[in-house]
Structure 1
Amino acid sequence: MQLLITEPSNTGGYPDKVPLYVFIKAIIPAMELRNPITLQNIQARLLICLYEIGHMIQPSLFLSISTVARCAIAVGCNRSVKSTESPTKDWVSREEEKRVWWTIYILDSYVPILTGFCNFVTDDPALDDCLPIEDNLWVTDAFPVPEPLPLMTPANVRVGPLARTVQAAHLLRRTTVHVRRSTGNEIFNVNEAAQIYGVMTCLSDLITQQATDLYCMNFCGAISMCNSARILLHHYHQIDERNRHYESCNHYFGTIAESCSTVIHMAKRFNSIATIFDANALNPLLPFSIYQAGSALAISDEWNLEEDKQHSLKELKEMLCVFSQRWKIADYHLEKLASTNTNEKS
């Protein structure tokens, strides 16, 4: 945990060279050679994964999520979410394992859009796999224990931030597979994309309604994944113009400007209240969707006024600047965004 809360200003600009990081990366495998893998080992590896994602340490982040997922599978952590699994532990232990496994699934679904690889270690979940319980109930050890809800829980049933993030990660994974492993049938591809886009939009609207200004940081991971998936679909089907049937289904997708506007609105809202947030509460999964919106905005001609376009880009960059105080990944995306703008002008 001490490693995870280390800010970029204390890393000398090289998060992968921090002595504590180097030490932990070396000591955990050594411990696992001498002792059985435990849930605590897996949780420690997860914290390392978050550190590597937050500071964009490649290729370590891609390798680390693969390792932690396989460690969890080796000790049976993946079975904790199965509705058919007979309970052999108390509910606290089962729920802890379930939350660990779903966190692994979330990161395993997210890392490919950062790295460009469409390789997942975790299997696709079944629709009746059990979601984690409401976060507030978990923190307070609520009794009686509520019945677990399935992954396919309808939108009108309230679930916690972690469960919403699981649902968003599931749709993000479907989007990634759709884009990176598309079929040769163009009509099928567009219809599938429209279906994913519709479900993702509904989920995004639901999360936005459930979040409040002071509570929204708990939903940032889910919001980020929804936005990333929608922009990814637009980029694949519209900007890259890989599908000549896109125009006929345009009413399903809306426009790239509409998807980017969701992120821009979030950036404006965040920038207006950024001073009240603890830096340690900033979610490292969020900067990528900000970069996606900025990159799409820079090359899109759907904005009526250049002034509005530049103002929106400024809001996105300002949000990335705030995140860069905590996570180097924001600096990484700021540099890429600057490069995109330079190429567009030239």
Structure 2
Amino acid sequence: MESERRTLAVRACVACRKQKRKCTREVPECSLCSKNGRPCEYAVGSRAAPYPEGRSRVAPRIQNPTVMPLQIVDSAAEAPSSNESTAPGLLPAENHFPALFFLDSSYFQQTKSQLQMPTVELPPEFDSIDAQSNMHDVDVYFNSIHTFLPIVSKLRLYRELSAPQSCRKPDTALLLITMQLHTRSLSSDPPSRELYGFAKACCSHVERSNILSVRLLQATLLITLYEIANAIYPAAYLSVGHCARLGHAIGIHDFKRAPQMLHTPTSATELEERHRVWWAVIVLDRYVNVGGKNRPFSCDDVRPDELLPADDKHWDQGELALIQPLAVSTSTTVKICPFGRTCQASHLLSRVLRHTSDRDSDIDFRCREALQLRRTVQALAATIANESEELLEHMNDATADLPLFTATALCHSALLHLYDTYCCTENTEANQMGCENLLEMQRLAISGLKEMPNTVFLFSKRLQAVTELGGMLRMSPLVCDCLYQAAATYLWYTLETGGQDYLPMANTIKDVLGILGTRWNSAREYIAILDGYDYSGNN
């Protein structure tokens, strides 16, 4: 009953704390202040929700903060102090995230505590885009980025956007802003740069408001993808690490073992969405680590029994289909959706990067692993190539294989990186020279470095054809690395041989990068690096 409830603050009042007196913590004033006739004031963030009079006074101190609304201080308490320099309108709403979730997650679960996301409103400058513009950007997004990185459920987002704009959650408004980043053409004009800064500022505001959600992680992933696509470093490298931390905090990296910050999914579509979001973290994290050697990943590899994404089309439509769940360890020849292929390719790229950074394992073991990785990546690349041909044969669309381009490019990047590691014999130590597996791997690496650039050259011609057929919006920026590696290998051969036979292929790949550079600045950066190569051998 209401008469049996009273409201207590989380901490003692200011007067009792100064005088080191035992405070009864009643709101609006404690017993001691009331008895002495002095003003009773509580620090910002000290008030708590009421609890029954008869309950233990120990348990609420731990349990109540985890279930209390995260927005309970009054407007006066929310005002920043005079020594705080926060821009007007950008101060995140004061709330009380339960530290228990991080300090002792086991006890948090034992007490069956629950987290409640704060109810806050974005400042007007972050939520001023009209609904019609929102829907247009969302439609463009789903017809472009979503085709190669499907991490946002169409059904769930469109359903959310059907509600009045006044009911829109801050993290959803943030997601819409980050979607806009990918629907604008690459430009050096101030509006493009301002939108990026605007998205970063809004993301920071939502995060400081303790709104930790799948929508926040999706938005952060889209910002990271934008930074990768436009070579905004070190921001891209740091952002993907932040994505991993957010995923770890939320718990979507391990639904069975990790503490879960979110409610239980209400549908298979929502569960699959969370699953795909974490896969996207892994894909982007591995991609940003291709060029930088010997850096640790932001997150672990998935376990062999971890499931790959379900069929893209069925998930988009929210249909329940009798589809066998496929684990990461599934054979590369089993039929899988395009995003599933991207995840498989990213997993193999991850294994290659870990392998090439390993200098502690036995040389014979490393070489046997390298030989196995080569066979596995080649098998996946061949399967993807066959699936691409089937799509083009059976669909009346000359760009039908576009969703498979990311997986193809990641396989090419993995093989080029593996071959580059083993092709140079001068790096081999004297006590390793007699290893038969090492000699075999070096032989395959040398021949592979001659074959792979030609494979990527043909791939670049396919990319060019697709862009000419109107597929630029659906093109993945993650294709750029393999193009760069192949062109750089051609130029290296030109330097080594002194001939000009490889220059035409290198220039063709650079031309394709130039086409991609009309959309992403990373392609332009790769061209600038290639233009800096000295073919004369003076370096």
Q: Same fold (TM over 0.5)?
A: yes
Assess if the C-alpha contact under 8 Å between 2:399 and 2:471 holds in 1. Answer: no
Gap change, CA 1:342 and 1:301, over 3 Å in 2 = closer
- What root-mean-square deviation, in Å, do the aligned CA atoms of Structure 1 and Structure 2 show? 2.6
Query: Which residue identity lines up with residue 208 of structure 1 in the other structure?
Result: A
Q: Which residue of 1 aligns with 2:415?
A: 230
Of the three residues 300, 304, 310, the one matched with 2:503 is 310
Query: Which residue identity lines up with residue 181 of structure 1 in the other structure?
Result: D
Assess if the C-alpha contact under 8 Å between 1:204 and 1:226 holds in 2. Answer: yes
Assess if the C-alpha contact under 8 Å between 2:419 and 2:449 holds in 1. Answer: yes
Of the three residues 501, 514, 524, the one matched with 1:331 is 524
Gap change, CA 1:174 and 1:139, over 3 Å in 2 = same
SS in 1 for 2:450: helix
Q: Which residue of 1 aligns with 2:183?
A: 5
Query: Which residue identity lines up with residue 141 of structure 1 in the other structure?
Result: G
Q: Which residue of 2 aligns with 1:274?
A: 467
Of the three residues 430, 440, 443, the one matched with 1:248 is 440
Structure 2: where are the runs of 5+ without partners? 1-178, 393-397
- Tell me the distance in 1 between the aligned counterparts of 2:274 and 2:459: 33
Deviates further, 265-274 or 20-29 = 265-274
Assess if the C-alpha contact under 8 Å between 2:412 and 2:452 holds in 1. Answer: yes
TM-aligned CA deviation for residue 222 of structure 1: 1.0
Residue 222 of structure 2 corresponds to residue 47 of structure 1: yes
SS in 1 for 2:382: helix
Assess if the C-alpha contact under 8 Å between 2:367 and 2:441 holds in 1. Answer: yes
TM-aligned CA deviation for residue 282 of structure 1: 1.8
Residue 306 of structure 2 corresponds to residue 98 of structure 1: no
Q: Which residue of 1 aligns with 2:299?
A: 122
Of the three residues 227, 232, 235, the one matched with 1:60 is 235
Query: Which residue identity lines up with residue 197 of structure 2 in the other structure?
Result: V
Q: Which residue of 1 aligns with 2:515?
A: 322
Gap change, CA 1:344 and 1:230, over 3 Å in 2 = farther
TM-aligned CA deviation for residue 54 of structure 1: 0.1
Structure 1: where are the runs of 5+ without partners? none
Aligned pairs for 1:72-83 (under 5 A) are 72-80=247-255
Q: Which residue of 1 aligns with 2:211?
A: 36
Instruction: Show CA shifts across 1:155-203 (max 9, x none).
Output: 3321011111111111111111111223363333222211111100111
Of the three residues 87, 102, 107, the one matched with 2:284 is 107
TM-aligned CA deviation for residue 305 of structure 1: 11
TM-aligned CA deviation for residue 280 of structure 1: 1.8
Q: Which residue of 2 aligns with 1:69?
A: 244
Of the three residues 387, 392, 395, the one matched with 1:210 is 387
- Give the helix-richer structure, 1 or 2: 1
Gap change, CA 1:232 and 1:168, over 3 Å in 2 = same
TM score, norm. by length of structure 2: 0.59
SS in 2 for 1:18: helix
Aligned pairs for 1:116-155 (under 5 A) are 116-144=293-321, 146-155=323-332
Gap change, CA 1:148 and 1:290, over 3 Å in 2 = same
TM score, norm. by length of structure 1: 0.89
- Tell me the distance in 1 between the aligned counterparts of 2:536 and 2:346: 32
Q: Which residue of 1 aligns with 2:110?
A: none
- Tell me the distance in 2 between the aligned counterparts of 1:284 and 1:344: 32
Instruction: Show CA shifts across 1:214-235 (max 9, x none).
Output: 1222112211111111111111
Assess if the C-alpha contact under 8 Å between 1:80 and 1:94 holds in 2. Answer: no
TM-aligned CA deviation for residue 95 of structure 1: 0.4
